Amino acid sequence: MAKIVGVVTTSHVPAIGGAIHKGIQHEPYWKPFFDGFPKIREWLAKVKPDVAIVVNNDHGLNFFLDKMPTFAIGAAPEYKNADEGWGIPVLPPFKGNEDLSWHLAESLIGDEFDMVTCQEMVVDHAFTLPIALLYPDMKWPISVVPINVNTVLFPTPSAKRCYALGQAIGRAVEAFPQDLKVVVIGTGGLSHQLEGERAGFINKEFDIRFMDSLTGDPTWATQYTDRELVKHTGTQGIELLNWLTARATMSGKVTELHRNYHIPISNTAAATMLLEHAA
């Protein structure tokens, strides 16, 4: 049977790809952020996941503002990078896990989540950068299943709905008959706003409270509406829904093995966490 071995959450600021491409990870501006990953890489080397379910948001590659599904899942044999031009120019394609994708799609739709199932999908920095941060040699030892959550265009799904989606994903993984170790990656955020009167907005206090809640009180964020989350985190900070969905895939108590929080990177509160089932 398949098993979720842990959850990794991290920001996906496009400029991270530029820093990787230029080899400037150790410069003072970037070092505090990149220092957050060696412990996670050590954990990955020890646990050796087979598959990554990547909960992210599409930035207009597959879905533009005229067609924005609330939830979508990739069911393609592979996923190619279509970076917007700020990040790593060339990346090897990512191998899809079609069997798990179709199992998840059927299970989630059976649980009344209206997933858009995509047999073709390209991936942008929200997907590629987190995996490149975890596997910096750019050799992917895992297959992948992308899951898109709309955090771009209102109305967005509620935090409560995203938490329920994560729980449904967790149940579906546990029901998958193949013997697979699955890591769930939640990408984006934390607090940031890139435009308007509040451009540059960061809310460290809320970010830390949210990160704390993922272990101690995982449904804490579900008390807020989408507009309340934007008020607390900025228009783009609502990407924390991807983190919440990923966390909810693990039932029961979890242990925080690692976290990193650094501000600012490109007007963003950049953060990383590693969670595992509690002993």
pLDDT band of 209, cuts 50, 70, 90: very high
Instruction: Output the pLDDT for position 200.
Output: 82
The total number of residues written for the chain in this structure: 279
Between 199 and 239, where is the model more confident?
Answer: 239
Active-site residue (options: 12, 59, 192, 262): 192
Amino acid present at 258: H
Q: Which among 12, 125, 232, 262 is annotated as catalytic?
A: 125
- Helix H, strand E, coil C: the string for the chain is CCEEEEEEEECCCHHHHHHHHHCCCCCCCCHHHHCCCHHHHHHHHHHCCCEEEEEECCCCCCCCCCCCCCEEEECCCEEEECCCCCCCCCCCCEEECHHHHHHHHHHHHHCCCCCEEECCCEECHHHHHHHHHHCCCCCCCCEEEEEEECCCCCCCCCHHHHHHHHHHHHHHHHCCCCCCEEEEEEECCCCECCCCCCCCCCCHHHHHHHHHHHHHCCCHHHHCCHHHHHHHHCCCHHHHHHHHHHHHCCCCCEEEEEEEEEEEECCEEEEEEEEEECC
- Percent of the chain at pLDDT above 70? 99
State the chain's mean pLDDT as an integer: 95
**Does the structure show a pLDDT above 70 at 125?**
yes
Q: What structural domains and CATH numbers belong to the chain?
A: 3-256 (3.40.830.10)
Residue % of the chain over a pLDDT of 90: 90
Q: Residue range 4-22: average pLDDT?
A: 95
pLDDT score for 279: 81
pLDDT of 85 > 70? The answer is: no
- Respond yes or no: is residue 192 known to be catalytic: yes
At 166 the pLDDT is 98
> Nearest 5 degrees, angle CA 97-CA 246-CA 99?
15
Which pLDDT tens digit goes with each residue over 35-50? 999 999 999 999 999 9
Q: How many CB atoms lie within 10 A of CB 21?
A: 15
Query: pLDDT, tens digit, for every residue of 150-192?
Result: 999 999 999 999 999 999 999 999 999 999 999 999 999 999 9
**Residue 126: its pLDDT value, please?**
94
CA atoms within 13 A on the CB side of 241: 32
103 among known catalytic residues: no
Q: Residues 207, 190: contact at Cβ < 8 Å?
A: yes
Whether the pLDDT of residue 208 is over 70: the answer is yes
Residue tagged 């896990």 (tokens)? 97
Sign, CA dihedral 209-239-34-198, equals negative
